[in-house]
Structure formats: C-alpha cells, structure tokens
Amino acid sequence: DDSNIAPHKRMNDAIHAFNCLTVAEINHGGRNANMHRTGLQPVGPSDVPNAIVGGHSLKVPTIAEIKEIIGKYRDGARRAIAAGYDIISIHGAHGYLITNFLSPKYNQRTDEYGGSDENRVRLALEIYDAVRQEVGKDVPVGIRISMTEDIEGGITVEQSIALIQRLEKLGLDFVDVSAGTYDTLPILIQPMDQPQGCLLPFARQMRQNVKVPVIGAGRINDIDLAERALSDGDADFVHMGRAFHADPEILAKTLRGAKEEVVGCIACNKCCSQLFSDLRSVCTVNPRAGRERTLKLIKTDRPRRVMVVGGGMAGMEAATVAAQRGHDVTLYEKNQECGGYVTILKAPPTRKAWGRATHDRVRMLEQSGAKIVTGRVVTAADVEAERPDVLILATGTRPFVPAYVAGSDRPHVTDYDSLIRGRVKPGSNVVVMGGQNLGMITAEFLADKGAHVTVIEQTGALSTDLEYMAREMLLARVNRSNQITVRLNSNVEQINDDTVIVQSGGAYETISGIDQVVFANVRERNTDLFEEVSLGLSERLNIQVHLIGDAEWTREPYDAMMEGTMLARAI
C-alpha cells in the first residue's frame, strides 16, 4: 500500500546519490505464493497447486477479479514512480502469476484468458498496457520472462518470442530473459553444477528475433563473463545477483584494477536455500552479507599473539580477521594446502567451484599479514614452545572406518580422505559406504576416474544434507549414470577379498568383483590437541583456548566460517 512509498523513497534517494538508477520489479506470486507466509489463498488461472510451496488449493479468479488484479499492477507502478524508481520491470517469469496464465500446462481456463495462445497472452498484454498508461512514455517499462518452463506441456521458446514481439509493437522498452519455474528450480536458481552463463543462449535467441534491448541472466558471476556476453552479442545488458551478494564491491574492485581481489560467488545457493526456509539470506563466502552494520572491522588496541591450528574455512577466516585487526597471527595446517573439508567438497567435476572459495580465502589470508605454515602437525609441545596468548583450534574432522564392520581392516578398505587427497589410488570396481553428500562426492569423484561404483546407503534417500537445487541435479545425474549404482536402506555386513555382503530388509546379497571399499559415511571430530592442551597446559601458561568449526561439531562451511569471523572479532 502507499505506506511503503516513503521507505522506498529513502532507499532510492541514497542510491541516486551515487549516480545509479533503480528498477522496481512488480510481481504477483500466483501459484508460487505460500499461504503460510501470506495468510492468503494463492491465486492461479486454474486450480493446479504447487507442491513446492505447500500444495495449497488455488483461488481461480473470475474475469472481474482478473481486472482487479490488473489494477493492482497499475497501483504498484504508480507507487514505484512516487517512490523514485527510474524503471519498471513487470515480473512475468519463474512460475508467478503471469507465467501461470502464459503456460499451457497451468492455464486450463476456457474463457477469454485461457485456451488459445491468443487468450493465454491476454493477461500479460493487459498488465503491460495498464502499467504503461500509468507511468507514461518517458519511463522505461520492460518484462522478465521465462524463455521456457522446461516442463512437458509448458511455455516454449517460440511462444516466449511471439509474446515479446507482440509487446514490442505496444512500446515495450526491454525484455529480461530467464528460464524455469519452481518446478524446475535448478534452471531458475542455478547451482554450481550448472555451467556459468547457462541461460545466455536463450538471451541470444531472443535478441535475434526482437529489436528491444535484451537482458541476459543465468549464473553470470564474474565481470569477464559479463563482458563476453555483451561483446559476443548474447545480450545488451546482464543480470548479476548472487555475485554482488558474495562481493558487493565486485564492480568497484574491477574498475580500480583489482579484479584479483574479488571474492567469487560459487553458486552453492546457501543464500537462496535460507530464503526458501524463511531464514535471513546469508553467504558462504561472505560472512558479512546481511550483517554489514554489525560486523565491522575494528582495529584492536591490545595486539595479542594468536596461534591458529587448522587451515579450513573456520581457521582461515579466524586467522585472517584477527590479523586484519592487528593481532600477531600464525596459522598451522597439517596438509600441504589449506582448505580443510572444502578440499573434499571440490573433488568431483560438478563441485569444482568450491575451489574458488578456498582460493579466495587463502589469498585473503596471505594479504592479511598472518604467517602461514603448511605441512606441519602441531603438538602440545609446539603450543608450549610458542606460548601464544590465544590458541584457536580449528582442527576439523577426520574419516572414521568402523571396526565393527567385519573385514574393515582389509588392505583394500580405505576412507574418503585418503582417496581424494591422493594417498590411495582409486579402484575400478568400488563400493562406497554412505549415500549422503560426502558419499556421493566420493562416488562422483571415483566415477570421473573411470570406476564403477556401488553406493550403499542405510537410509531411504540420497544426499538429504545437500541443498535442494544441487540435489535435484545430482539425482538426475545418478539416474543417467551407467557407472553409479545405488542401494538404499542397506548396510554392509562383511567385507571379503573381492566381495561385499550387503543386508537390506533382512535379506542378504553378495556383490562380487570388488577391488576397493571406501568409507564415506561418517566424519568424527578431531579434538586430540584440544584435549591435550586442556589437561592443565592452557591454565598453566595462561593461554586462552577456543575450539571452533567442525572440530566443535560438524556443520556446513558457512557456519564454520561464521564462527571463525565472530571469534576473531571478539579477541
């Protein structure tokens, strides 16, 4: 309502002070609206509920009610201009109301707003006309569309092009090309499994068929890719969203010639997963995202000697921030490279983007002035010799091979860490114990090396600890794979020289021809050093000791890094 005009005006005034334009994207949730959030019944052209947001029955509007909805778009445009927005974008993509009316699958009406192509585009045309009448010819008005829903019976590329050609004749100023709906979220919110710029071919196709400027989108997460999209003729403008969440200064750094300092978005989708769970949007690679006012870097007035043991995400973040604040910091990592558990996460080809996260953290650590010692296992004697004021133990986790599994001590039995770090060569016919994220990372790593893999998972579902969009793509890959076989609700009972006995539902089966068994179902906390120094050493030497990250309890990289940054700001 009109009460929103004033706060939006303040925001726009602040943005305009930096000589930037603002765009108001006007939207109606349609069948994507969640009744638990709004308290209102979702609206759609036909009663085809959306299971992703609760599967609520939809209110099917009468023609008179459709006219009221069109009026609401007009009201939204009026408020946007009053609030100081420079450009209006009508959201007609991603399974929201306009998409629902455009879709042959979800629009099953038999009146003037459904049925034929002509009738299904009517709502979009009338909304555009109402908005244009409200704002006049001097305000740019465009529309965002899903070029395809990527579902059987959904909107096609040809139908999307035809719609924009119609709107172009009515005076449309630009088209913003996306793809997908909530039914096809891995296309709509692309995880790292999707290639960078994956939707640009749609923008190029639209650009070849219309005269209005085209905006391209789809995991455009670095400036070089954005520039190529423009120079190659894929689009006239590009959308960059998550990239600015990861590093709000991405453009400023590039313009001042410091592109190498950009913290890159890895498309882990932590930000979007939080929103879908009604939580604040955060960022795995930018702990300050959403906390810019409270997480300010304040220089210490009491520099202290800080010893950090463990070069994973928690340890690197703690060391970096502590050094930036003026402390004398030394970080020790037992492996030859920092990264911790993220070194495991980046192992399969589809997860390589995790490598960007470690690359950026190592660079920031080096630039902070902290001293870095790799290939060194720290003991209690080392702590006593160094005598730091503060000891931060970010020693992470280690693999666990259970002795209770018969045959787990055989020479061809190993763990995910030894395999992925290269201490053990991959087998050719491998059983992987565990089908959650860690197990499937191991399985895909092995498959990429040419192995045939059988995954044994004791629960009834794979990778339930993986974010939704990435999990959907993983399941699709596994279903297509001729190298990965999955056995759910199963346990390994015995490991023999070249066979594994599996139990499922009380029945036993022998898998033959096995040359390797990899345990990838359990990580245990590595607290050995913490326990050693806690036995009087820390008190005797007056050392402040902190256990952080996965060593405290296993969790996602974001949570571990957040703990590291909060601790470093409190020292």
SS3 assignment for 27-62: CCCHHHCCHHHHCCCCECCCCCCCHHHCCCCCECCC
Assess whether 113 carries a catalytic annotation: no
pLDDT at 79: 98
Angle between helices 63-82 and 122-135 (to 10 degrees): 30
CATH class of segment(s) 413-521: alpha beta
- What confidence score (pLDDT) does residue 276 get? 82
- Residue among 85, 96, 128, 558 flagged as catalytic: 96
pTM across the whole model: 0.92
Write down the pLDDT at residue 280.
86
List alpha helices for 308-436, DSSP H: 313-324, 342-345, 354-368, 380-386, 416-420
Residues of the chain with pLDDT below 70 are: none
Q: Which two tokens stand for residue 442?
A: 């191991």
Nearest Cα residue to 388 out of 540, 543, 548, 529: 543
Q: What is the dihedral of CA 362, 364, 367, 370, to 10 degrees?
A: -70
Would you kindly state where each structural domain of the chain is located, as residue ranges? 2-189, 305-399+525-570, 413-521
For residue 185, the surrounding DSSP H or E stretch is helix 185-188
Question: Going by CATH, does the domain composed of 305-399+525-570 fall within 3.30.70.260?
Answer: no
Homologous superfamily assigned to 2-189: Aldolase class I (3.20.20.70)
